[in-house]
Structure 1
Amino acid sequence: MKTMEEIKKLCVSRRNLSVLGVQVGIYALLVSIWSLVIMLLEHDVDAAKESMRVNAFVLFLLLTVFMANFYLLVPYLFEKRSKVKQCAFWIINLLFILLWNKHIFSIYNADLPDTTIRIGFYQFGVMWTILNYAMVVAAIFVRYYIRHNTLRRQLREQKQKMTEAELAWLKNQLNPHFLFNTLNNISSLTQTSPNNAQKAIGQLSELLRYALYETQPKEVSLNGEIAFIKNYINLMTLRSGSNVEIKSEFVIHNSQLLIAPLVFLTPVENAFKHGVSGNRPSFIHISITEDKGEIIFLCENSNYPKTDMDKSGRGIGLENMYRRLELIYPERYQIEQRISKGTYLIRITIKPCRKTSPPKV
């Protein structure tokens, strides 16, 4: 009973019905083409009809051999990877082909006195058997091709799901990391400038609103991302002293460009974390420009690396950013970094996909 249910399920599957439709279409096409050729060559309607009858019968025998193997014998015997079942597969096929083509093999049942005719008949029998076995091999290869493509599609889908899960995990790491660093800066302001601290809390609420609610799509408007970075720079400027020079420039010609959310946040955070000294002149220059569809992020700042004693927000920032870029923009991004004479520079170039509006969530 279970086997019959499996056979029924196998026969009515969309994939197998598609194969059946293709085979029936090829069968009808071959019969029609051959009859048309006879009609054009012989100019005889009766000859064309007879040709259609004969070829319809002969090709039907081959089609049945193919379908019997594709639906039943190959999946239930050949693909089981059992030597006994595979041996049975070839024996059953031999018996099936001989019985199914009995009428073909017994056309010349009468005595054949002419040796040449007998030899021709034997040769025909051998060639017809080989042609039937060719249908068996064709059924094996068609099933293999379909199964191989199905496995490849499943692997692609699984890889896509794993990539999406990793990206979600990376972004979930990024938000607490950003919040921790921002609260750490506001904590310092509460001691040195309570008024600025109160203002910073208001700005932080705007940043959090964007980070938590506006970054849910895979890609967001570049202009929205720039507005977020501007707000973050303004928030960090409240804590910076008069000895810190902060410059920013944003030149975007295509307002429809999209980008992965918060992808430039880490280098901006690091610029304020490692580029500002409490008693020495410091600078931070940040720019985002667009050139021929490429997004270019540039951040240059004075370099005052934190000591081992400073454990504030260390560990996941840049590594997280590199991994996100690799997953979202494979072979469509470049990163250049260098440190020279107390200056750190990072340049990120991204070639985003050509889209005109943010994807729907």
Structure 2
Amino acid sequence: MASVIKVNLPQQFYDIAIAPGSLDQLGEYMTSLHLGKKVLLVSNPVIFQLYGERAIASLKAASFEVASYILPDGEHYKTLASIENLYNTALENRLERSATMVALGGGVIGDMTGFAAATWLRGINFIQVPTTLLAMIDAAIGGKTGVNHPQGKNLIGAFHQPRLVLIDPDVLQTLPTREFRAGMAEVIKYGVIWDAQLFAELEASQCLDEMGYIHSELIDSILTRSCQAKADVVSKDEKEAGLRAILNYGHTIGHAVESLTGYTQVLHGEAVAIGMVAAGQIAVELGMWTQQETQRQDALIEKAGLPTKLPAGLDIEAIIEALQIDKKVKAGKVRFVLPTQIGAVTVTDQVPADIIRQVLVRM
């Protein structure tokens, strides 16, 4: 079933279009936006082999001039060096200000393509065509783009909103189980921070850990409710001046875990799941929510096939040190998003280091 969610921002608005089979209508969707004819499609080898030809065929059928660039697969390639290669391709194909970069892939491809689009000629058009659950419900929406620095995730970036987010749920059929589970971490996040009904729906579901076992109605609900939650928050706070910070639930410790494991051992969603468990326990220690609620959250994380423990051998002091260079640090204080009930959170920089240490030691 097709649905359209509006992201309303002061300077512009755009649609999140969710429709089975919509990948083959990419060219039609883009034609309605009255863009220039030159398109640079950016993907990775795996996704391009699966869906690149279909996307290009749709674009060409709509009279777009299409070039493509294939970025290596993996978070550890999310660097300025990779962006420079992408710029070289843009230059070779004479991408002008009316041109469009199309991101066909997961969060890494979306972040990097968006950053390249934000900075090429000081900003050109950008379309998100996410192919992972995590990208569909989170990374592709809201205009956050960027690359990693060796000492921290997404420390280099820009806000650059897409002109369209086109979600084809059918492409999830080829998503590896581990990647699908990783995406479920962000779905659970929305349930904790914004949508108690979504959380209850996930709790009632018989199985969450593999795409093939989830009925289409639940997939529809996961996509529409999660995308609506992200759109609601972004529309109220485009550039993380206040409310949008709640979207970082689980990400403070999660980003530290990703960084310290070299972006190769733990997927982003897995790190967020670990971070949510830690944040829940911190909230309990501070008397902000109950042990029963954190147990509900952790049980749902486990039900989705996600980790609730730190990777073996990870140094606790290294995590605490890594928190100090997180991009959310303000006036030298680490900001945590902590739950107060299912469906509501608060942001605080009043978390003592000994509480963080105590919680991490138990994990």
Q: TM-score, normalised by structure 2?
A: 0.24
Q: Which has the higher strand share?
A: 2
Which structure has more RCO (C-alpha within 8 Å, separation ≥ 6)? 2
Q: Which has the higher helix share?
A: 1
Please say which structure displays the higher CA radius of gyration. 1
